[in-house]
Structure 1
Amino acid sequence: MENGMKVVKPLDDEKKQTESGQEEQTGYIRMKKFKFVMLLFFVIFITAGITTAAFAFGDQKAVNVTTVNRPEFDKLYKAYDSIQKKYYTKVKQKTLVDGAINGMVESLNDPYSDYMSKTEASDFNNTISSSFEGIGAEVEEKDGYIVIVSPIKGSPAEKAGLKPNDKILAVDGKSVHGMSANEAVMLIRGKKGTKVTLTIQHVGSKDETKVTLTRDTIPVNTVYAKMLKNGVAHIQITTFSDGTYKEFKAAVENMKKQGMKSMIVDVRQDPGGLLDQAIKIANMFVPEGRTILQTEDRNGSREKYVAESGTKITVPAVVMIDGGSASASEILAAALNESAGIPLVGEKSYGKGTVQSAEKFNDGSILKFTVQKWLTPNGSWIHKKGIEPDEKVSLPDYAKLPVIGTDAELKLYSVSEDVKTAEKMLKALGYNPGRVDGYFDWNTKTAVEAFQMHEKMQPTGIINGDTATKLMSEISNLITRHDTQLKKAEEVVQKEK
């Protein structure tokens, strides 16, 4: 104990993932300290006025025990019995039980608490442990809407220009309003090569746009490294998955061989992932004994996670963050900033500061609910606030342009917000669309034709699915070539020497 606070050291490298104390799954954290040996399943039996329940713990067989009278459940039992006996069609017991659990979870009004069916739970686990097929975007439920937290690097979602805080209103024409994030993900996911059409409302806009994406395999690789000028290594973490820590270590060693003199750790657009991976990477920078993370339960009791001994990275470093940096990304950024003195560059992070516990039932379903807050080393709770960078730098205005609907056809005399977005993109790419006013005139048509010829496409002068997709792809490439945040990070890290 330290000042009445429990101190916890990071996990050993040799421990398996299932043995890690806490972990975060794509935007939320799972507690697995007891390997799901808590209550897994129960069936209510009412016999001769005596209520009994069959419980199963771990691999033990269910046994009948007499329960304590719980009058608060009388109304629930009565509603269940009435529906079973009097509803005009038969209803499966599982449907009613699942519905009751869903109702309890929804009453929490917490986007990070959820009840998942067996299929949903399987997808929940596969997202972190292996590659999966889909569009590659982390989403959450927020005020009844499905909102994008961050697209994954190189994914169809990123290539289509989807941005953090964009709302997904419908999937293939089916409204997802009021759905949980997992229910929406089940609709969005699908086999590689198949298409899905999303109705998107860009942040700050009232207009709706339909975007058709081709699903793909979302790669397992989560760390990308390259050497910039003057020995500056740029190491990007796109998500925190099973092998991220090992990938990061390998990337650091590779950069050392190439003459690394300083380092930029880039967690922009990183929606989070496994907590233990973030802790292990933080431990490579934070001096022994200093705090990496704190957690606080409902009673105000705190636990500290402190850095262990070992070889530390001592070259000058900076961390890059933005509005798509969430959860585990924020944990890493805060730890390196507050406990290792490493400056942050970019824009304010997302702001996700809660810890979830996941309990698995015998039928494969999972109940996930918030049990703790996580705090920065200095004790700050960044939930819904985010982390402010030391050096605030925005990307060019064209980096914030919304997506263009790939289902619509923009042509001469069209008038819409999509036309205005396309005009801004053409102008940023060096083509002259004339006035940027949302009106598709002859100047706009000429600019579109010039763009199509340059990209070896048929010069129709019409913006349809292929041209819209190519426009957004070229804007993405332009952002990469003129990355103002990365340039600032290079300046800062070289001053740190």
Structure 2
Amino acid sequence: MLSLVVVLFITNFLFFAVGYNYGINQSKDLDFFRNIDNKNPEFTEKLNRIIYTIDNYYFNDYDWEKIEEHVYREIISALGDPYSQYLTPRDIEDMQIRSGRSYGGIGVEVTINNGRVTVVTPMEGSPGQKAGLLPGDIIVEVDGKSVEGLTLSETVDLIRGEPDTEVVLGIIREGLPEVIRVPIIRGIITTTAVKSQLLQEGLGYIRLTRFAEGADEDFAKALRDLKEQGMENLIIDLRGNPGGYLNVVVNIAQLLVPEGEVVYMEDKHGNRVRTYTSNLKERDFEVVVLIDEHSASASEILAGALKDREAGTLIGKKTFGKGSVQTLIDLKDGSAVKLTVQKYFTPSGSVIDGIGVSPHIEVEQPPEAKFSNFVYKGQLGVGSSGLDVVILHKILYYLGYGEDRDDPYYTEKTKEAVSGFQRNNGLPVTGVVDRRTGEKLNFVFAEFQRERDLQLQKAIEFFK
């Protein structure tokens, strides 16, 4: 599972806040960790001795606040749980803003994976997506500065900036031989978590990109609008949805899941601590849900409930497997600990954490259906280089022009492939990607991707 100049998401999130106030002393005296459980006095004594030794004998200047923050982060990191974190007041502010409907930045959700800042997903229509960032891209530089060894928050601070200003990210992508530098213009990101349309007569489609604040209200409105247009069956697209707020997914589930259980939580002792239910008496439409390996957390609650209650058919790939609940525990200086405190289970008692939810009908999505679109940002010709050229090569290859290339260099072979595309699409044959060629390329590829979306096609066929 974040000022109007926030840049990135931090990670998947499914949590609820609690008002615990733990009296952690953050002054640099010998009682620095006085609230550590006395079960381990050796740890407390050793840590205090280290602090005392640094304070009295270390020769160089040092930033004590930075040391403290590092200690807090490392304590939580040592749990080995990617969803438990120490959060500074700035982290908390960022997270709250990101969960709202608009913020400034590049619109990319990131996480720490194996110690490296990794793209989870770029938001649809965001500057990050338009620049060509893809899930799995590893951010190694920001404006020429290496981010190796920096925390996620420190990296975000480097990327953060005013809208309409440029930031250049250095990324590593699987299959590319070197770091690619990607210029991105920051902007105001309006988070539209729900998109809907009538695909054909009687068949509605709702794309739910995350369970953000207000997404439940938007989903309910989309459902009403589709019914007014004559919807008889519904496809819900949860592919790439990393999760969100528990109350939001429960509210949406109550519009779809028949009367009874939706999800329940257990604590570390195996005690059931909370059960969420639906009071829905009847539903006058059938549901298919599209899921994939990036559908996580709240997405898995909805998919699992619909599957267990036999209220929907799942199509796609097994989901991510994030079935834990995090609680924000407030500390007195305004910081907090986000800690995994519960696991959630589907109505049948199935475990999701580390396992995921399997579809009724498994459909493998071809890589071209998931690839980035092409966004024209300036003329490309022989001698050009960068991520735009990487994307250009792949799109041309998928459309049947040129070789399957991962390099970022616009060569004579690239010119030849572009000329072939221009020739077959009624464009002036120049071998140069100008605005007209770029827009046509994007339009043709978007149509091609829709035809190659085998999971969506299977969902449409399901209702025939």
Task: Give the TM-score category using the shorter length.
Answer: 0.7 to 0.9
Answering whether residue 244 of structure 2 is matched by residue 259 of structure 1, we say: no
1:390-445 superposed Cα distances (whole Å, 9 cap, x missing partner) = 22223443234579999999865999998676334114346x33x44679664531
Q: Secondary structure at the match of 2:369?
A: helix
For the residues of structure 2 that align with 1:91 and 1:441, how far apart are their CA atoms?
A: 51
Partners of 1:144 and 1:179 within 8 A in 2: no
Task: Give 2:248's aligned amino acid.
Answer: Q
For the residues of structure 2 that align with 1:214 and 1:414, how far apart are their CA atoms?
A: 19
Residue 334 of structure 1, aligned match among 287, 304, 312? 304
Residue 367 of structure 2, aligned match among 377, 391, 397? 397
Answering whether residue 280 of structure 2 is matched by residue 313 of structure 1, we say: no
Question: Partner of 2:4 in structure 1?
Answer: none
Question: Partner of 1:38 in structure 2?
Answer: 21
When structure 1 is superposed on structure 2, of 256-265 and 99-108 the one drifting more is 99-108
For the residues of structure 1 that align with 2:96 and 2:334, how far apart are their CA atoms?
A: 12
Residue 240 of structure 2, aligned match among 230, 250, 269? 269
Q: Secondary structure at the match of 2:140?
A: strand
- 1:377, CA displacement in angstroms? 2.7
1:276-297 superposed Cα distances (whole Å, 9 cap, x missing partner) = 101111122222223x223233
In structure 2, relative to structure 1, the CA distance for the partners of 1:420 and 1:84 (3 Å cut) is closer
Q: Secondary structure at the match of 1:42?
A: coil
For the residues of structure 2 that align with 1:458 and 1:191, how far apart are their CA atoms?
A: 39
Answering whether residue 128 of structure 2 is matched by residue 157 of structure 1, we say: yes
For the residues of structure 1 that align with 2:220 and 2:43, how far apart are their CA atoms?
A: 53
Answering whether residue 88 of structure 2 is matched by residue 105 of structure 1, we say: no
- 1:465, CA displacement in angstroms? 12
In structure 2, relative to structure 1, the CA distance for the partners of 1:25 and 1:272 (3 Å cut) is farther
- 1:174, CA displacement in angstroms? 2.8
Question: Partner of 2:263 in structure 1?
Answer: 293
In structure 2, relative to structure 1, the CA distance for the partners of 1:45 and 1:170 (3 Å cut) is closer
Answering whether residue 212 of structure 2 is matched by residue 241 of structure 1, we say: yes
Answering whether residue 13 of structure 2 is matched by residue 28 of structure 1, we say: yes
For the residues of structure 1 that align with 2:394 and 2:42, how far apart are their CA atoms?
A: 64
Answering whether residue 454 of structure 2 is matched by residue 484 of structure 1, we say: yes
When structure 1 is superposed on structure 2, of 448-457 and 329-338 the one drifting more is 448-457
For the residues of structure 1 that align with 2:460 and 2:186, how far apart are their CA atoms?
A: 35
When structure 1 is superposed on structure 2, of 368-377 and 73-82 the one drifting more is 368-377
- 1:71, CA displacement in angstroms? 4.4
When structure 1 is superposed on structure 2, of 80-89 and 418-427 the one drifting more is 418-427
How large is the Cα RMSD of the aligned pairs?
4.0
Partners of 2:180 and 2:386 within 8 A in 1: no
For the residues of structure 1 that align with 2:120 and 2:457, how far apart are their CA atoms?
A: 25
Alignment gaps of 5+ in structure 1 = 1-23, 56-66
For the residues of structure 1 that align with 2:32 and 2:291, how far apart are their CA atoms?
A: 53
Q: Secondary structure at the match of 2:117?
A: strand
1:327-358 superposed Cα distances (whole Å, 9 cap, x missing partner) = 11122111112224311112232232222221
- 1:46-61 to 2 correspondence within 5 Å? none
- 1:368-447 to 2 correspondence within 5 Å? 368-401=338-371, 412=382, 422-429=392-399, 432-433=401-402, 435-436=403-404, 442=412, 444-447=414-417
Answering whether residue 118 of structure 2 is matched by residue 147 of structure 1, we say: yes
Q: Secondary structure at the match of 1:37?
A: strand
Answering whether residue 313 of structure 2 is matched by residue 346 of structure 1, we say: no
Alignment gaps of 5+ in structure 2 = 1-8
Name the % identity.
33
TM-score (norm 1): 0.78
- 1:113-192 to 2 correspondence within 5 Å? 113-192=84-163
Partners of 2:330 and 2:336 within 8 A in 1: yes
When structure 1 is superposed on structure 2, of 356-365 and 225-234 the one drifting more is 356-365
When structure 1 is superposed on structure 2, of 406-415 and 223-232 the one drifting more is 406-415
TM-score (norm 2): 0.83
Partners of 2:84 and 2:338 within 8 A in 1: yes
For the residues of structure 1 that align with 2:323 and 2:436, how far apart are their CA atoms?
A: 40
Partners of 1:448 and 1:463 within 8 A in 2: yes
Q: Secondary structure at the match of 1:28?
A: coil
Task: Give 1:426's aligned amino acid.
Answer: L
Partners of 1:356 and 1:370 within 8 A in 2: yes
- 1:304, CA displacement in angstroms? 5.0
Partners of 2:11 and 2:109 within 8 A in 1: yes
Q: How many residues align?
A: 452
1:78-128 superposed Cα distances (whole Å, 9 cap, x missing partner) = 111221222224445433322221221222232222222222221111100
Partners of 1:120 and 1:186 within 8 A in 2: no
